[in-house]
Structures are given as structure tokens and as C-alpha cells.
Structure 1
Amino acid sequence: MIVSAVILFILFLTVSYGHTLDYDNWISYTSTNEVREIDFFDDSLQVVTSGGWLRIDPVTLGVKKLTNVDGLGTGDLYDILKDADGDIWLAGYGRLIKCRNSKFTPYLFLDRNDKLMPLYDIEDDGGMLWVGTSTGLALFSKTANGGQIEDFYFRFGGLNPEPAVFDIKIVGDSIWLATSAGLAVADKKDPDLLKSFINWTSFVSSRFPELAGDTVSALAYFENSIFLGTNQNSYRLDFYGDDTSFVKIPTREPAAVSSMKVTGDSLVIYTRNGFYIHTGVGTVWSNTPSIPSVRFLSGRFVDAVHWLGLQRNGLYYGDNGDYSKFPDGGLPGNYVTVITSDNKGTIAGGFQTRGAALFDDNEWIQAGIVGTVENGVRQGVRALILDYAGNLWVGTWGNGVMLVTPDSIINYDENNSSLLGIAINPNYVVVNSMVSFSNYLFMTNYQAYDGRSVSVVNLEDKSEWRFFDRTDSLTSEFPVSIDYYDGTLVVGTQYTGVFTYYCGPDPFVETGAKAVNLREDNSNLGSNMVNVVRFDNHGVLWVGHKYGLSRYDEGIPRFDDIILPSGFGPDVTALIFDGRNNAWIGARNGLAFYNAATDEFTVYTTLNSGLPDNQVNALTINPATGDLWVGTPFGLSRFRSLIGPPTDDVTRVIAFPNPFLICSGAERLNFNYDGTATVRIFTPTGELVRTFAINIPWDGKNQSGRDVAAGVYLALITGESGEVGRCKIMLIRD
């Protein structure tokens, strides 16, 4: 899908930046468990969530889910409306999005530091939109220059400057704001006058104790009065100049209000403690025993069916207290902490507070009850491994490690393994990184009370465990990442660099070795604050840390700093290598691809790719497909392999696309060999046309850079060990 975008800088400098985004190679997987707004138009229920936009037919329950890669640019949405012209507008993280005839135009909202800012609310006002943001109020023109910010307002009477604006309500010529600093109102006939704070009337807790904490979260206009919700309750505002009062709506306490909806002659108020219906004759609290939570964010009545949006548990629908969960097949949660894969192509993901799930090529299936609040996992999943038998091992923050099989879940902790808890709570066992080799599984034991850093279990005899600690010269109590290559274990730590330890092919056989600590002061490591350690395909150690990426040079021996692209990093959070020894590098501000053949980088962010967020928490490559999976705080991205389904057998290599049609000159031909190799292109008569590394796609040119003629060509692919593969290529020029 091709999407145009406009970037809007809020310091009154409006800059249009047009570019195209090609999402064809990206797929997003998100959770819609946080339902923020529900509307109804075009005969469909319109549901916006932290994981995308759901369009639901309330009769058939058919659903279409739209995310960032469908043209929205973000799946983190807060509000939706349809204006009088038939255009649909959505407010999301850093973007105001217009949908016209199924074509999307995102307008980017950047703050003073050029960071994307959340947009919480939109209110239609003819040719204008009022937009509530994390730092104030924007006035947006729908028509000027194709859409642009006309002005931005930061101060509202006596409120603290630059409050978040959560809700906007227009009543006649008045504009009302619900903000993080209180309630404000002004006459909007001349928007220029709104620039001065003295033209706003404000309501704060210092004058009105009912506004305790000053946060006003929701507004409604009902029975000719303004109603508002706070973190404690809901009120009717009786506004008569100096004679102003807030009349409390009787309900259960406390009731932090999320939203308010006028439905016929009723006002429905949704809170973090249930929902209630207020009419002119009183208030009725509704019970929802069939729903696992009463933390409601939004709702909507459609043909007597009540649709309810929850803060953590998704979308429910029903009536008379009998509700059913609406499934969307998405992730258990959006905050992805770890992701892993095995040689069979199985994908598993871990989520901060929502457990672990397996992907079956259609939907995500919860892996037992691991990581749920109910079974006591305190801070979610931190590490995952699929062992050679296809069983899932789950490292947790506080509950040790769990083995999930099709039939059972076994918890390993201080009682039945070599793992130990922290000093102040021996039952609190943290496992935050794992690696498997052969029939052994290694895991870090963070802050174990006796100082042990690593434990290992024999997968063929799960009663056999051992640990490595200070007696092996592993002296850090804060291990955060682990890897293994050819008998050598490497452990990255939070504060003291990395440790390398030769444990041999069988870690249960003593080698007598001692760990070597590589740090800033003795090995030129870029930082002792390590996030991730990985060996590449040739056994070279790479370390991602707080200040960049370092690679160990055995010949010196010391680390060399990898010069990252400008604006990328420096805090490297994830690292993985594909079969060609190219590196995928995750940071807190994007994803980078390092081409091992050319030493060139390609950087991906939410502005030029299908990433749902710039913070990369985890990476894995599916060996069966070559696809890259990226875990972020706002969901998962899958980047389809550009070489197709890979093969490690050079004799089975294929070229694609084949025929190779060249029209614009930008087309490229790839080979699906997942290893290091040299490609030679020949004519049918044996004349050498071009030689290049397999990492570099062929552009249809010869060694001198000239276009070759259309026709049949032969490709000879030679692997590192001398093995040879061959294939024919049909080149067509249009």
C-alpha cells in the first residue's frame, strides 16, 4: 500500500514532507486488549485500540482489522470520528490520520524535540479539527495546503502550562477542555484570542476541591449542562460566573472516569470501577459478572446491544448483564519482551505482563497459563527457548523458569533446580536470558543471593542441573544476556562488561577453566553496561551496550567499536545474525541492517517501514522462512525475507524473480542461499559477466556497470567450503 505523509512541527513551523511507504514486506501483529474508543457509523462498529482499528459488523460479527502497515502509520490509536464530508479521522501516537475512499493520509505531530507526540482526542468544527495532544491543544485545518496545523495552544487560564488534553467538547461558541491540569473553557469564535491565557476560564482543585489531583479525564454535554469525569468521580458543572459549583453524581467510590457517552435520554459513564447510567431521575450501577474486569475505557449501545471496551481485557458485547468476549486473534499484549523461533519455523513471543504465546500462522495461542496474573508471575516473561523437542522454556522475572509442554507446565525454581532467588526474597527467582546448545539449556540467574550467575539443565535428564559462580570467576550478580559457541559461554552483565568461560561441549564435565572478564579498562569495550551478547556465524563476539556496538578482534585482542549510522542508537538492545552473517541490530530508536559484504547499514523506523514502534526489544529470524521478527512495546513486526524461503544447500539454490523483468532499472535479482557465497554470472557461451557476494542482489549490469542484453544467463554460486550450485536466469527488458 502506498501512503502519503505530512510532517507537522508544532513550533508554528509547518513543513510538508511527502514520501511513499512500501509496507508490502511488513506484517504487524498487535493486541486490541486496550479498547480506547467505540463509535458507530457506516453500519459498522468503529473500535480504536492500542493495537489498531477494528471495523465490526454488529449483525454478522465480521471484523476487519487495520494497523500501521495498512496505511495508518501507527496502531496506537485513541479516537475516531466521521465528519460531514464523509472523511474519517483517527487520532493516534504521533499521527492524525485522514481516511478518504480507503486512502490514508497520516499527518505527523512532532514536539519541540522532534519526537512523536500522542494525540488523545479530536473534535470536528466544520473545516477545522480541534486536537487534544500530550502537551496542549492544536487547531488543524482540513483544507489548507492539503491539511495543516493552524495554531497550537499551551496555556489555559490558571492551569499549569502544556497540560495533556484528554477530551474536548464544543457547545455553541464555547470550547471545553478536560486536561491533566484541570478544566478550561473559552470562546472560540476568534481562535487567535485563545493564544492568550487570560481569555480562558479555568477550574482547579485549589478553588474546587472536587477536582482533587486536577486531572479531568472526560466531558459530556447532557441535559443542557456540562458533565465531567475525574480520577475520583463524575460531576455536573453548575456554571454561573462566580456562583459555580460541581454537583457530584452519586455512584460507587472511587470511580476514576474514562469516558462519557450520551445515549438517548441517558448519560453512560465508563470508569475503572464499572459503568453506570445517569438519567434525570437517578443513577443506576450496572453489574457485569460475566466480564473478568470492571476497568472500562469506553462503550457504545448499538441496537440494544452494549459493546464495552476494557483497559486490559479487550472488547465485550451483550445485554442484561450477559456478555461475551469478542475475539480478534491478536497478541495477548502489545509489550513484547522476547521472541524466539526454532528450525521447524515455530514462533513464540513473551509479553511483559501477559505471558507467552505460540503463533500457528493464523492466530496467537496462549502457552498454557504462563505469565498470567492468576498464576503469580510477577513481572512477565523475560526469556524464551524452544528446545529440540519443541517444548517451550519460559524465563520469568520472579517465578524462575517454566517448561511448557502440550500436556503440562513445570515450574523450576529454588526448590527443584540450581536456580536461586534474590537476597531479600529467596523465592523470587529471576531468569532473564537463555541459550540452548545440543541437549543443554543455559540460563542467567539474575541477582541470585549466593552470587551464582548461570545455571544449566540437561534436556535429556531434567533432574540434572549445575551452576557457575564466583569459583569459576563469574563474579557478577547482574547477568543480562547469554550466548554459546563451540564450547565457550559468554555472559553480558549490567555493570561489569562481559565474561567468557570455556565450559566445553559438555557443561557437566569440569574443564578447570576460569572466566575472563572483558571490560572498558582492559579490552576497550565501549561500555560495561551491556544489553546483549551474540556470537556471529564465525564465532566472533559482538556486544550491544548502552553506548553502541562492539566487536571482539581475537588478533589484537580487544574490542573495536562499530560506527553506527548517524541518529541510530547508541543504546543497542537486540542483535541477531542471518545465515549470511548479516547483522540485524535493535536500538531504542529503530532497527538497523548491517550488510556483512558491503559494510553498509540500512536503518528502519516507524517513518519508513512497518515497525509499530522505534524501540526494539527483541529479534529473531525464522530459519524456515528467513523472515525477521521484531518485538516492540507496541506489538510485533514481521519483515518478509527478501531472498525468499532460504536454503543452506547450495545445490538447491534458486534465483528470483525469474524471469527477471527489468523496467525502471531499480529491480533486483536475489538468490535464496542462506550462507556466505560468491556469485558468478555467465553467458551461455561461458563469458563471465559479473562477480559479486551473494549478499549483493544483481541489478542486471556487467562488471563495468553497463546494462546486459536480455536473454538467458547462468549463475554459479560457490559456498565457503567450495560447494557449488547452479541455476538459469531469464532476463527480460521492458
Structure 2
Amino acid sequence: MFRPVIATLILILFSVPCVFAQVYQWENHTNKDEVTSLSSFGGFVWATTTGGVVRIAPSNGEVTTYLNSDGLGSIKINFAAFAGDNEAYFGSADGILSRLNLSSQSFNSTQLRSRDGGLLSLNSADTSGDFLWIASSVGIIKYDRVRNGGEVKETYRTLGNFLTESAVNTVHVFDGKIFAGTNEGVAIGDIDNEFLLDPAEWTTIELGVPIFEDIKVTCFGAFNGLLYVGTNSGLYVWDGETSLTPVENFAAMQILDLSLGDEPATSLYALVVTEGGRQVFRISPFEWIIYQLPAELNAGLNSFAYSGDWYFGTVADGVHKILTLNSAVKMPAPGPSSNTLVGGGYDSDGRLLVVSRTDDLSVFVDGDWEYTTVTTSEKLSALVASNGDLWIPTFGRGVFRVKSNGAIQQFNNSNSHLIGVAQDAAFVVVNSVYQDPSGRIWFSLFQANPVRPLVMFDPSDSTWEHFDAADGFVSGNNQVVAAGNGTAAVGVDDQGVAFLRYGISPENHADDQLAYFSRSRRLPSDIVTAMAYDRDNVLWVGTNQGLAKFDEGIDFFFPTEIAPGIGSNITSIVADSRNNIWVGTSEGLALLGRQRGRSGRFHDCQFRFGFQRHRKAGL
């Protein structure tokens, strides 16, 4: 079953230069609860997340966030590294290295790519002098921070006996050597060696039984002249030569993170997975330190750092500061409840309503985020109607309506024309929702039994209507829906567009005319991913291969080019109040703006949001 494309951020339009004289400024809002690393430098605690970077001031708890609209190159950040000269570096899962000047708070970003031009994942980094050593998905990257403002000097794709272009999980500079932690073990090279491109110049230490039992290196930690190596099956210490010695008390334990504690540092600590949950151990001298955190929080701990107090990162609940051995407090970073967004919009009171696939309804009002639980079921799309009502189609539970006064209604097979699948009449899958110019709400049903692709609700009198096989529909695999004056359309899996002419009233089926249109009518693809009517009642259709508008007079599609560089996989379409067409793709946003005085002519403008390349699902 096709699912709506997932969004990873919200873009709120305020006013970016474009060729037709309007200026736009964007503000990003993301969820930052999925922490990927924690570190402490410059007097702050830094959390990297899948929604950007969070900076926490231990002195007063102030939280500062960095996103694309602030200059950060990407939001899916894997690490933060302090260069020691007023610069911090952030590496992303899509290969973007962002440099932050800590004084001016300004960013510079560089897109790093693999040998064939593909995207890399930047996993970790450490510094030595003018160089940044980056653990990546294809090996170790030696990045010159000074030359030409920053450039890749060399990439070491084969580390000794390890497989070529194996991913490096973590990297550490210690005692004049570079240590690379992989899924096969540890590779060691001399920092000053000019011949590290030769695999023979690397020393490799395999852990476990090769092929059958590789032990994944997860982290490094240096303390008191010793280098410790954390793995998914124990803690090791480097002997200074060519071997790693297991550390007593940590046999077979999964080491999630290593961190120095206290100020000045007097101990190295390990965040460890035990049978009793996540625990913190002091390595030398050994001590078992138990923080009695809530079970639901404990299960998600993945990182920690010390800056006057202990801070813990989690996989789904942000950063928490330890108050005592028995309590913690979350350091909230503003944003929606999730990054898996399916839609939303502004209500009649000017509040921004944002619906995520699995989490709460998020409401942005007066600069703050509030959260409301509507349903725990999976949400597939969302629409804020002109009267302020929020409509939320779901996977299996029909449709939810959140009225402007906060009241919640559920519609399913028992109280509406929505019907379920063949296996369970009460399991109602509604993929898409759309409002026509008269205020009626239209829904597309997936695999309804019997075939019922299209259902309509009229809020003016609370009446329902539906369209089925009697109207000519033959497929139940329906996706997106759109409706205009006298017509409606449904995107059908691998069949293009089912176009319905219902005449003056959708309740009168006597004059209904239905036709299926696909590539034979110049639709770019039979896989329809988005649809919308503009203010001239023209249907625009997005596919995985591009955009087209439909000429109802001749029943033909006319493909329309959008800005190059943002892909052809259309994920959303909206016509604004000036009848400009906004087109979201899997790589950016395009604006087709009508040229004044020349109806039908468009100027094309693209918005790529820095180096952002994440999917847009709703505008």
C-alpha cells in the first residue's frame, strides 16, 4: 500500500527573493527528541538530533536550537566536534559538514560525497591541529579545516585488512594516532604518516570471530593516559601496541557511550546496557552508579555528557538533566511532537495545526507549541477546513474531526458512508482528504469492500454521499483525492487518475461521467502522488515522474516543468490565494508564479533551504 510521503520539518512562510517580486523568509520547526550524540564544550552541552542541534546552557537551563533556517546544512545531525579554536563542526547523515563560529554564530556548510558522487553518512569526528578526522560510511575522511576555507585532503577507504569502504562508526585521536572503530574492530594509523592511502600503513585489531561474530565498536574514551574502546560486547583498553585487553566487570556488556565526568575530570564513565536496564559505571576506580530513572526513559538512553551535572540523551524523548540519583528533568527543545508529519494548516484563529503520523496533534500559537492527543492510530493525511475544523484520515479507524472548539468526532462504518476492507468492515482506511470550493469534504478510501473509492461529507447539513461501482469505479486501490466545481478526481495505484464529472450536485448521480486517464493522455506517470485544483478549477496532478495540469475540454494532460535540481517526485501541490502553484518534491519546493497580466504563463522559483534534502508532505 502506498503511504503519503513523510515530512521531516515544518516550513513557515513569512515573506527568499524570487523573480516575481515577492520576498520570502522561512522559519523551520522540527522535533528534536531523537538524540544521536551528546557532548560538552564551550561551556555548553550540545545535543545532535534528527531534527537539528540543541545547545543547553548549564548555568540557567536556556535552550538554543540550530536548524536549516539558521544556516545549519542539514537537520539529521550525527555528531558535534569542537576544534578548540572557537569553531564547532556538525556532521549529518546525508554527508553535510557544517562549521559554526561560536562567536558570530554563523555557519558554513560543505557537501561531502563518495567517489561515485553519492551521499555519505558522517558518523563521528575528532580533531588534531588543522585537521578534522571524520568517520564516514566509506572510511576515514581527512578534512583540512584551513586550506581554501575547508576541503577534503584524503579519504582512506581501505583500512588495513578490513573491507574496502566499510563504514567507520567512531573515530578518536590519541597519542599521535588515529583510531577508527568499525564493525570488524579497530584500525590504527599514525597521524603524521603521509602514506595512509596505502592499506598496509594501517594496523588492524579484529574483535570476535571474523565473519561469524564481529564485535561492533561503538565509542572511544581516553583517561589517565589510557584509551578505552567501547563495543556492543564489552569494554577494552588499548595496550599501546597492537592489541586490546578486555576490562574486568564489563564482559559481554553493550557499551553505548563513554564520557569524562567531574570538573576537572577525575574519572571516565560508561553508559552500559545490563539485564537491569541502562546503568552508569565509573571505570577507574570501578563503581556501579545507579540512576533511578523512569523505566520508559531508561530503555531509550543512548548517550550522556557531564557539565556540572549529568545530561542524558534518548532515542525518542530528548535530553534529560539528572537532578539527584532518583530524578531527572527534561530539557525541552521547541517543535512539533514528531518529524513524521502528514499535514496540517492554519485554523480560523490563526493557530498552526500540525498532524504527525503516530504522535500527538501539535499546535503552534503565539510562538509556543502545545500538544493534544486525538487518536493513537496511524494518521495518513490532514486538512484544516475553511471553517477551522481539522480532518484526520487514519489507517483503520476512519476519520477524526477536531472542531474549532476542541470537540473530537470519529466517523467510521457505523455513522457515515465510510466502509472498511473485506477482512473487517470496521477497519476503515482513508488515505486522503480534500475540501472543494463549496466547503464539502472529500475522502479517498483504500480497498473498501465493496468498491467505494470516493466519499463526500457536506458540513452545511451533515449529509454524506459516496461513489462506487455504479458510477464506474473499478479499483479499490485509491490514494490521493481532489475536488473542484462539478468534478472530483482520485489517484489510483498504477492506473493514473479517475476523473469524475458529477454535474451540479454530487447527490444526483444521474448525470455522472467517469473516465480513467493515464500515460496515454500524457500523464507523466501512472503513479499519482499529489493532486489539487487551482482557482480556475484546473486540476494539477503530481506523479513520481513530474507535474501535469489537466485540460478538461480535451481530456488531456500537459506536463509542466518545475525548477531543476529538486527532483521530479511530486509529494504535494497547493494553489495559493493569488493562484500561484506551490509544488513540494522529495528534494525541495518549487513555486510556479503567474506572470502579471499574462494568464497561464508561469515563472519558476525553487526553495532548497540550504543543503536540506528532506521530504515535504504538506505545505
Contact 2:497–2:516 under 8 Å retained in 1 = yes
* CA deviation after TM superposition for structure 1 residue 393, in Å: 1.6
Q: What SS class does the counterpart of residue 380 from structure 2 fall into?
A: strand
- The amino acid that maps onto 1:556 is I
Q: Distance in 2 between matches of 1:503 and 1:213?
A: 64
* CA deviation after TM superposition for structure 1 residue 313, in Å: 1.0
- The amino acid that maps onto 2:152 is I
Q: Which residue of 2 aligns with 1:705?
A: none
1:153 to 151, 156, 161: 156
Q: Does 1:558 align with 2:543?
A: no
* CA deviation after TM superposition for structure 1 residue 154, in Å: 1.0
Q: Does 1:444 align with 2:447?
A: no
Q: Distance in 2 between matches of 1:225 and 1:428?
A: 60
Contact 1:275–1:296 under 8 Å retained in 2 = no
Q: Which residue of 1 aligns with 2:518?
A: 519
More RCO (CA 8 Å, sep 6+): 2
Q: Which residue of 2 aligns with 1:494?
A: 493
Q: Which residue of 2 aligns with 1:456?
A: 456
Q: Does 1:121 align with 2:120?
A: no
Q: Distance in 2 between matches of 1:278 and 1:417?
A: 61
Q: Which residue of 1 aligns with 2:410?
A: 411
Change (3 A) 1:593 1:271: farther
Contact 1:338–1:381 under 8 Å retained in 2 = no
Q: Does 1:136 align with 2:136?
A: no
* CA deviation after TM superposition for structure 1 residue 311, in Å: 1.0
Contact 1:435–1:484 under 8 Å retained in 2 = yes
Q: 1:404-435 CA deviation, whole Å, 9 max, x = no partner?
A: 34554333334443333344555543222101
Q: 1:205-246 CA deviation, whole Å, 9 max, x = no partner?
A: 66269x94553322223565544444x443224658787654
Q: What SS class does the counterpart of residue 163 from structure 2 fall into?
A: coil
Q: Which residue of 1 aligns with 2:257?
A: 259
Q: Distance in 1 between matches of 2:494 and 2:607?
A: 29
Q: Does 1:394 align with 2:392?
A: yes
Q: Distance in 1 between matches of 2:246 and 2:286?
A: 18
Q: Distance in 1 between matches of 2:504 and 2:235?
A: 69
- The amino acid that maps onto 1:47 is A
Q: Which residue of 2 aligns with 1:472?
A: 471
Q: Which residue of 1 aligns with 2:45?
A: 45
Q: Does 1:302 align with 2:283?
A: no
**Farther-moved stretch of structure 1 (544-553 vs 343-352):** 343-352
Alignment of 1:300-699 (within 5 A): 300-303=305-308, 305-318=309-322, 319-342=324-347, 345-366=350-371, 368-370=372-374, 375=376, 377=377, 380-405=378-403, 406-424=405-423, 426-437=425-436, 438=438, 440-460=440-460, 464-504=463-503, 506-521=505-520, 523-597=521-595, 598-607=601-610, 612-619=612-619
Q: Distance in 1 between matches of 2:391 and 2:554?
A: 38
Q: Which residue of 1 aligns with 2:195?
A: 193
Q: What SS class does the counterpart of residue 419 from structure 2 fall into?
A: coil
**Farther-moved stretch of structure 1 (285-294 vs 380-389):** 285-294
* CA deviation after TM superposition for structure 1 residue 113, in Å: 4.7
Q: Which residue of 1 aligns with 2:55?
A: 55
**Farther-moved stretch of structure 1 (259-268 vs 473-482):** 259-268
Change (3 A) 1:60 1:221: closer
**Farther-moved stretch of structure 1 (561-570 vs 469-478):** 561-570
Q: Which residue of 2 aligns with 1:236?
A: 236
Over aligned residue pairs, what C-alpha RMSD do you find? Answer: 3.1
Alignment of 1:11-50 (within 5 A): 25-50=25-50
Change (3 A) 1:421 1:266: farther
- The amino acid that maps onto 2:61 is L
Contact 1:605–1:614 under 8 Å retained in 2 = no
Contact 1:23–1:70 under 8 Å retained in 2 = no
- What TM-score, normalized by structure 1, do the two folds share? 0.73
Change (3 A) 1:546 1:82: closer
- The amino acid that maps onto 2:217 is V
Q: What SS class does the counterpart of residue 577 from structure 2 fall into?
A: coil
Q: Distance in 2 between matches of 1:161 and 1:398?
A: 46
Q: Which residue of 1 aligns with 2:86?
A: 86
Rg bigger for which structure?
Answer: 1
* CA deviation after TM superposition for structure 1 residue 484, in Å: 1.1
Q: Distance in 2 between matches of 1:324 and 1:87?
A: 29
Change (3 A) 1:410 1:182: farther
- The amino acid that maps onto 1:421 is G
Contact 2:95–2:111 under 8 Å retained in 1 = yes
Q: Distance in 2 between matches of 1:56 and 1:538?
A: 50
Contact 1:593–1:603 under 8 Å retained in 2 = yes
Alignment of 1:151-300 (within 5 A): 151-179=154-182, 181-204=183-206, 207=209, 212=213, 214-222=215-223, 225-230=226-231, 232-237=232-237, 246=246, 249-250=249-250, 257-263=255-261, 264-269=266-271, 274-279=278-283, 280-289=285-294, 292=297, 294-300=299-305
**Structure 2 stretches lacking a partner, 5+ long:** 1-16, 596-600
Q: Distance in 1 between matches of 2:32 and 2:297?
A: 16
* CA deviation after TM superposition for structure 1 residue 152, in Å: 0.6
Q: Which residue of 2 aligns with 1:107?
A: 110
Q: 1:371-396 CA deviation, whole Å, 9 max, x = no partner?
A: 5xxx3x2xx32211223442322112
Count of residue correspondences: 582
Change (3 A) 1:506 1:344: farther
Contact 1:274–1:294 under 8 Å retained in 2 = yes
Q: Percent identity?
A: 22
Q: Distance in 1 between matches of 2:133 and 2:507?
A: 66
Alignment of 1:697-712 (within 5 A): none
**Farther-moved stretch of structure 1 (141-150 vs 339-348):** 339-348
Q: Distance in 1 between matches of 2:590 and 2:246?
A: 54
Q: 1:8-29 CA deviation, whole Å, 9 max, x = no partner?
A: xxxxxxxxxxxx9999712111
Q: Distance in 1 between matches of 2:500 and 2:170?
A: 57
Q: Distance in 2 between matches of 1:111 and 1:53?
A: 25
**Structure 1 stretches lacking a partner, 5+ long:** 1-19, 620-734
Q: Distance in 1 between matches of 2:578 and 2:268?
A: 64
- The amino acid that maps onto 1:434 is V
Q: 1:672-728 CA deviation, whole Å, 9 max, x = no partner?
A: xxxxxxxxxxxxxxxxxxxxxxxxxxxxxxxxxxxxxxxxxxxxxxxxxxxxxxxxx
* CA deviation after TM superposition for structure 1 residue 163, in Å: 2.4
* CA deviation after TM superposition for structure 1 residue 509, in Å: 4.2
* CA deviation after TM superposition for structure 1 residue 573, in Å: 1.7
Change (3 A) 1:351 1:151: same
* CA deviation after TM superposition for structure 1 residue 159, in Å: 2.4
Change (3 A) 1:560 1:67: same
Q: Distance in 1 between matches of 2:187 and 2:242?
A: 14
Change (3 A) 1:399 1:63: same
- The amino acid that maps onto 1:507 is P
- The amino acid that maps onto 2:35 is V
Contact 1:184–1:200 under 8 Å retained in 2 = no
Q: What SS class does the counterpart of residue 148 from structure 2 fall into?
A: helix
Contact 1:488–1:503 under 8 Å retained in 2 = yes
Change (3 A) 1:440 1:539: closer
